[in-house]
Amino acid sequence: MENEVKVTKSNKATELKYTDGELAAIAKLQEEAVGAENAKTYSELGLTSAVLTSLVKKANDERPMAEGFTRVNVCKIDVERTITEVKTFKGYYID
């Protein structure tokens, strides 16, 4: 019995495109977070971490961009934020 070579088609796109959600996220980043000194968290931007992760992956993907799309170099860094936590305690007073 001879070995059969099975030819399968890859589902991986040969060109990258941005979704509508990614394009909206890029616009928001361009408004509020240009440069590392202005980095914002996903919650500060009002975006999901999934769409930002997708943008970072596409920025580092070697595949070419589809016609009409320009690659945007979206990066991520660690940022520190001071958070004030509100807790409820019992308050006592004289009536």
Q: What does the pLDDT profile of the chain (95 residues) look like in tens digits?
A: 566 766 666 566 789 999 999 999 999 999 999 898 999 999 999 999 999 999 999 999 999 999 999 999 999 899 988 889 988 888 777 66
Give the long-range contacts of residues 82-85, CB within 8 A, separation 24 or more: none
Burial label for 25, CB within 10 Å (0-12, 13-18, 19+), is buried
pTM score > 0.95 for this model? no
